[in-house]
Amino acid sequence: MKYVFLLTAFLALVSCKNKDKDPDLSIHTEWEHNFQAISQGGDTLYAAKSSEEILAKFEEKKAAYEVNPNNLDNLIWYGRFAAYTGDYRKAIEIYSQGLEDFPKESRLLRHRGHRYISVREFDNAIADLSLAVKLIQGKENMIEEDGMPNDKNIPVSTMHGNIYYHLGLAYYLNRNLPAALEAYKKCLQTSNNPDNVVSATHWIYMIHRRMGRAEAAQNYLRNIHEDMNVIENQSYYKACLFYKGLLDLEDVYDPSAEGTPTNSALKYAVGNWYLYNGNPDQAHGIFNEIISGKDWASFGYIAAETDLAKPYTMR
């Protein structure tokens, strides 16, 4: 009887310890495959060949991390450039190791959440990004430095904005449109930078239309006009101008455009436009067009893949 009591006490102690551990920080598991992910259509997705420039920068960030692995910025940049080489699993591993030393660091959760989206693990992305949202409450928002700077070398996004943006995307891909809408509304509130305004407005408009709320969607286009100083998010800007009737279909849709993140984002906007305007065949044709490309980690590609694999029922 004494042994039964001791065993029960031991199991209770272990249970309490496990409850104390934040489950959101423990979702990473070792990846033992030579591919990065499996698409929602069942295809294996491999890392594309990286340029010599990206590989050189990756080695530079890796060396800086190895010299001082306790430096949070070194760790983040090491992970970001691992992802830029196409090795999203390595990036997830780096961020997971970092979270062991910095368990309440929202920036690590933001970047790991982004890369969970890349590899189609949307539940894990939501867990990371939701925790990041909790951690930033009451904290100052700051500009997030670009890993791949634009032509003007002007960062256009913020730390809080990126957390809400990627959380909204993860919810959208997981078919929770009300939660996605709320996240993008929060994203819109983080900054009045034109790039943030057009990117958040694009998703807010599109989600409202998917939910059958045409009037609410139109209301968000009031802040969109033709002389906005958009530096980076030109595809979202063009999409918003198209939604508002300031651009024609031929101005935004080129079937022959190569598969790049920018082109896929714009094509997805057009496909969605066809879908919520009652033309599913045209929409699916464009979605298939997108996934015939090679930019499988781009948001437009993932969204098109999701719509083909898990069609959302229009309200």
Q: What is the pLDDT along the chain (315 residues), one digit of tens a residue?
A: 444 333 344 334 433 433 334 545 666 667 889 999 999 999 999 999 999 999 999 999 999 999 999 999 999 999 999 999 999 999 999 999 999 999 999 999 999 999 999 999 999 999 999 999 999 999 999 999 998 899 999 999 999 999 999 999 999 999 999 999 999 999 999 999 999 999 999 999 999 999 999 999 999 999 999 999 999 999 999 999 999 999 999 999 999 999 999 999 999 999 999 999 999 999 999 999 999 999 999 999 999 999 999 987 654
Rounded CA-CA distance 123/17 in Å is 24
Establish whether domains 23-139 and 189-315 are of one fold.
yes
* pTM of the shown model: 0.91
Structural tokens at position 94: 């780096």
Please list, residue by residue across 209-246, b when 16 or more beta carbons sit within 10 angstroms of its beta carbon and e when fewer do: bbbeeeeebeebbeebeeeeebbbbebbbbbbbbbbee
| Among candidate residues 17, 257, 56, 20, the one with its CA nearest the CA of residue 268 | 257
| Domain 189-315: homologous superfamily in CATH | Tetratricopeptide repeat domain (1.25.40.10)
Q: What are the tens digits of pLDDT across the range 114-165?
A: 999 999 999 999 999 999 999 999 999 999 999 889 999 999 999 999 999 9
Rounded CA-CA distance 306/294 in Å is 16
Domain residue ranges of the chain, discontinuous segments joined by +: 23-139, 189-315
Tokens 């699916």 belong to residue: 284
Q: What are the tens digits of pLDDT across the range 84-124?
A: 999 999 999 999 999 999 999 999 999 999 999 999 999 99
23-139: CATH topology: 1.25.40
Q: Report the chain's C-alpha Rg in angstroms.
A: 21
For residue 30, count CB atoms less than 10 angstroms from its CB and return exposed for 0-12, middle for 13-18, buried for 19 or more. exposed
Structural tokens at position 237: 């800007």
Say how far residue 88 (Cα) sits from the centre of its chain: 13
